[in-house]
Structure 1
Amino acid sequence: MTTTLVGAPTPKQPAGPAAPMPRTKSWRSSIGLGVVALLSLLIFGLTTQAGSQTNFVIATNSDFVTLPGLGLPSKLAAVSFSIVALLLAGWTAFRANQYRKVGLWLPIVFGMAVMGALLTWAGAGRDNTTIQLTGLLTSALFLAVPLVFGALAGTLCERSGIINIAIEGQLLAGAFLAALVGSMAGNAYVGLIAAPIAGALVGLLLAIFATKYWVNQIVVGVVLNLLVVGLTSFFFSTVMTDNPNLNQSLGLPRIDIPILSGIPVLGPVLFNQNLLVYIMYAVVIVLQIMLFRSRWGLRVRSVGEHPKAADTVGIKVNRTRIRNTVLGGAVAGLGGAFFTVASGLAFGKEMTAGKGYIALAAMILGRWNPKGALAAALLFGFADALRVQLGIIGSDIPSQFLAMTPYLATILAVAGLVGHARPPAAEGTPYKK
């Protein structure tokens, strides 16, 4: 018989194995994909003109293998593409029911299926027009260049804890200085070198106000955007207008990489571009490796996630943030050269036209990751190129609808319909010792 005294502490029982946390099923992605696929079937599949044909041109004459044009029965093709998208949405739901994720291939194939239905519907019954797939992809990549550089700039800054709303101003400053210096030197490559300097200066201003004076970083970013718009407009109206030789239309020539550029479809798209596009490839690869596979990247991410802990182990928090913000500004400024010397255009007032804000959307959709930012920027660039292509063939889709695609995708990403997107924990919070 065991006697327990009143008020005596109860002996602790040996701790058993912790109960496993219950797993939850996430249906957001499958529901989102299912809605898009169903709309594709209802809008593109069922409304396509019966008995019509859509003509596609797949390759160019310079390819190693000359592929013939492709003519598809419009209604059958649009319905088939939409059914493939529905099946992929169903597969996503099946995997979610098993608490398993789908691979990266699924959203890529899903997007191709929906775009196939859209293009087939848009080109139905237009016998005198063809949809140039290679030209569409080439334009998509080229139009995505400033978005990629802007998104990489935002990733560099926000991974260290600084919100960079000033990407628009950095792009515009880079475009202005590239045109000015390139015109003075009579060489587009010199302008390309000057562009990052302008973006770095804007980034330096953002870093000083954010780290030294603890000013709200979103407000500073908006003010810097307005400042750059005012300064560039003033110098354009006074200096460049009175001296047209300071605002020449210089262009970077295309660099054709032998053998690789002859690969059907992808060759002309990836390996027949100008120098800025090839620099973009290198910057994405280097930043992806440096941020997630190097000691420098670990320190940057620690400063953005837990600056107090980083300071405890000897990392200079504010110095790291300043360096990253200036570097991010330089990357964005380099992207600004796209609008002038890379495109063969003279500088114009506010010629960036909000691309900096779309780059922010690409950064969020890419989850603050260089390769994710690249994928999101390519998606937005494709939407822009598609808008142009549909305008050429006379599609009934309003161009404004495609122009709002980046912002709609960002809303869906922030809402968690394509997965949870969590920014760095210390983003926007000044570090005060």
Structure 2
Amino acid sequence: MSTMAVPDVAVAQVDEGFWTRTRKIGAVLLALGVVATVVFGALATDQQARFTLSETDGGAALEIDGTIGAILFGVIAAASGVALLAGVPKRWLTTLLGVGIVAFVLSFLCWQVSAAPEGRNFMPMVNMVRGTFILALPLIFGALAGVLCERSGVVNVAIEGQLLMGAFSGALFGSLSGSVWVGLVAAAIGGAFISLLLAVFAIRYLVDQVVMGIVLNLLAVGVTGFLYERLMQTDAQKYNSAPRFGTWEIPLLSDIPVLGPALFRSNLFLYLGLLLVLVIHIALFRTRWGLRTRAVGEHPTAADTLGVKVLRVRYRNVLLAGVVAGIGGASYTLALYSFTKNMIGGKGFIALAALIFGRWSPTGALLAALFFGFADQLGTYLGAIGSGIPSQFLAMLPYLATMLAVAGLVGRVRAPAADGKPYIKG
């Protein structure tokens, strides 16, 4: 009886071994490629899909027949899936996955741009890139706040509240003082205040960190909503008219096609966000502070044995994360909009997803934030050209991209080993 059971087990193991994560992703890419080739190719028109290198329809542009482009890029996406299904070495997974996703998106865009009404059948690449970075900004700051916390062993679900408190504080104190710099400092303090509560309750009193993060988000929504109604709605001129950071143009770099106008004719927050990604990445992986932070996040007991002050490191990094997230919130109210109730609208949770998608790395978080920012900007663009896709679905795009990325593309990732685990000094 036992000898007959062995073949069944062996077959099960062979089946499980065949459908590896690489092959599963390949099957999904193949299906997407077929959909793009057949459906997008059929719906596209023979008009030229124009991708202009300027902010308008004039000037240089990349052009391709809508139908040909939709089919061609669909075939490329399907070919990427076939290559993964064939069992290519695992080191090619990221490259082929990226090629497949980009090809699928380009196939979709060839359909949409070519089918747009006359005069709107073009995509201004400068506006798309600029919009992607602007919409990704709060996600970049929020994800960096998550990196600082979770690399130290503290789960930061309170990113939403930190962003919101930063946006509110920047608007309020910027309006009262008439200074963007005072507003920026106030935003940093507002985000740090939420982080201080997280640190005290999670580190000192050992409250469940996820539950505490949710409570702090609700606290931020309640406090800012109450003060908005009492102050800002009654006298917006005094309490909700903060000055804005202007556009800072970097000579020479701003003349680079597409990327120049989008990246180097922007406000302080974009430059600061990109600089923080670089600084935190170097600090995390190249300095003594970074080594201690990662040690505390992976094995706090061993770090303590070597003389690292575990709780001090966690307090410091959680507060620093609040400062970063608070500045990210100010990117709304000191650069773009007036404050409104709950204006962050779930971006803190998308930033948390970007943190996971980026594998707890500053540069990975940046790329993930840009991915979600592009999905958001794409929805705006499709609405502007009169796409036949329902507006409700377009509004869902960034959240749908978040779910697909985290559930389907991340795969098995490992958070820092001590993430979310309170440390009690023995």
1:148-197 alpha-carbon deviations (Å, 9 max, x no partner): 00011111111111111111110010001111111112122331232111
2:206 to 192, 201, 214: 214
Partner of 1:17: none
Partner of 1:267: 260
The percent identity for this pair of structures is 47
- Give the aligned CA root-mean-square deviation in angstroms: 2.1
On the 8 A contact 1:55/1:71 being kept in 2, the answer is yes
The code of the aligned residue for 2:83 comes to: W
Q: Counterparts of 2:289 and 2:272 in 1: how far apart (Å)?
A: 21
Q: Do residues 389 (structure 1) and 384 (structure 2) align?
A: no
SS of the counterpart of 1:318?
Answer: helix
Q: Counterparts of 1:404 and 1:289 in 2: how far apart (Å)?
A: 35
SS of the counterpart of 1:86?
Answer: helix
1:114 to 93, 96, 104: 104
2:182 to 176, 190, 203: 190
Partner of 1:85: 77
TM-score, normalization: structure 2?
A: 0.89
On the 8 A contact 1:364/1:410 being kept in 2, the answer is no
Change (3 A) 1:234 1:318: same
Partner of 1:3: none
- Pairing of 1:167-206 with structure 2 (within 5 A): 167-206=159-198
Q: Counterparts of 1:400 and 1:308 in 2: how far apart (Å)?
A: 50
Q: Counterparts of 1:145 and 1:399 in 2: how far apart (Å)?
A: 23
The code of the aligned residue for 2:53 comes to: I
The code of the aligned residue for 1:346 comes to: S
Q: Counterparts of 1:81 and 1:296 in 2: how far apart (Å)?
A: 46
Q: Counterparts of 1:289 and 1:87 in 2: how far apart (Å)?
A: 37
How far 1:408 sits from its partner (Å)?
A: 4.2
The code of the aligned residue for 2:301 comes to: K
Q: Counterparts of 1:322 and 1:390 in 2: how far apart (Å)?
A: 44
On the 8 A contact 2:55/2:125 being kept in 1, the answer is no
After alignment, is 407-416 or 206-215 more displaced? 407-416
- Pairing of 1:365-404 with structure 2 (within 5 A): 365-404=357-396
The code of the aligned residue for 1:198 comes to: G
Is the radius of gyration larger for structure 1 or structure 2?
1
How many residues were matched structurally?
403
Partner of 1:127: 118
The code of the aligned residue for 1:272 comes to: R
Partner of 1:59: 54
Unpaired runs of 5+ residues, structure 1, are 1-22
On the 8 A contact 1:414/1:421 being kept in 2, the answer is no
SS of the counterpart of 2:49?
Answer: strand
- Pairing of 1:265-414 with structure 2 (within 5 A): 265-343=258-336, 345-414=337-406
How far 1:136 sits from its partner (Å)?
A: 1.1
Q: Counterparts of 2:199 and 2:400 in 1: how far apart (Å)?
A: 30
SS of the counterpart of 2:292?
Answer: helix
The code of the aligned residue for 1:281 comes to: L
Q: Counterparts of 1:309 and 1:413 in 2: how far apart (Å)?
A: 34
Q: Do residues 30 (structure 1) and 21 (structure 2) align?
A: no
How far 1:304 sits from its partner (Å)?
A: 1.1
How far 1:405 sits from its partner (Å)?
A: 4.2
- Larger proportion of helix: 2
SS of the counterpart of 2:176?
Answer: helix
TM-score, normalization: structure 1?
A: 0.87
